[in-house]
């Protein structure tokens, strides 16, 4: 599995691998499912469909920051489902957030009907180090 392009201290990458593998064995969720939201959003970590492709600033060479994502899909289940969109007939107190289901009455309204490949997204990045705040984008599907 590919994790973010962090400069990690020696041994930390192996430790993270072990913890993510244990999480998957114990809970049935992999890193991608618990670390990212796969929908349109501002900030945070992109929910890459393909391996991460972080851009470096052409001006100063630093890795650019994720500004926003526009994705083809929105989740109908799981921990990233907004509280207001959850199924009212599901026992919210007894249901873990990662097992939450969408309200069937609102499910058809999810998303924005954009076709970005099959389930792709456009990811916009900005460099706040440079005075002219350059930006760029990445696309995957």
> pLDDT digits over 9-66, tens only?
777 778 878 888 888 888 777 666 666 666 778 888 887 778 888 999 999 999 999 9
SS3 83: helix
Question: Rounded mean pLDDT of 77-94?
Answer: 78
Q: Per the domain annotation, does 81 fall within a domain?
A: yes
Count of domains for the chain? 2
pTM exceeds 0.85: no
In terms of domains, do 110 and 123 share one? yes
SS3 90: coil
DSSP structure string for 36-73: ---S-EESS----SSS--PPBPTTT-PBPEEEEEEES-
Q: Per the domain annotation, does 1 fall within a domain?
A: no
- Where would I find the H helices in the chain? 12-27, 31-35, 104-107
In terms of domains, do 109 and 66 share one? yes
Q: Which of 7-21, 56-70, 85-99, 125-139 has the lowest mean pLDDT?
A: 7-21
In terms of domains, do 85 and 112 share one? yes
């Amino acid at each position: 599995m590919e994790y973010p392009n962090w400069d990690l201290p020696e041994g930390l990458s192996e430790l993270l691998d072990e913890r993510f593998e244990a999480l998957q064995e114990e809970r049935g969720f992999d890193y991608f499912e618990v670390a990212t939201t796969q929908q349109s959003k501002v900030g945070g970590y992109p929910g890459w469909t393909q391996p991460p492709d972080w851009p470096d600033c052409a001006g100063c060479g630093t890795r650019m920051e994720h500004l926003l994502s526009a994705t083809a899909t929105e989740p109908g289940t799981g921990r990233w489902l907004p509280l207001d969109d959850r199924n009212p007939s599901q026992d919210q107190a007894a249901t873990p957030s990662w097992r939450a289901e969408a309200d069937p009455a609102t499910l058809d309204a999810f998303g924005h009907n954009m076709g970005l490949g099959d389930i792709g997204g456009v990811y916009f990045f900005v460099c706040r180090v440079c005075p002219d705040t350059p930006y760029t984008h990445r696309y995957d599907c």
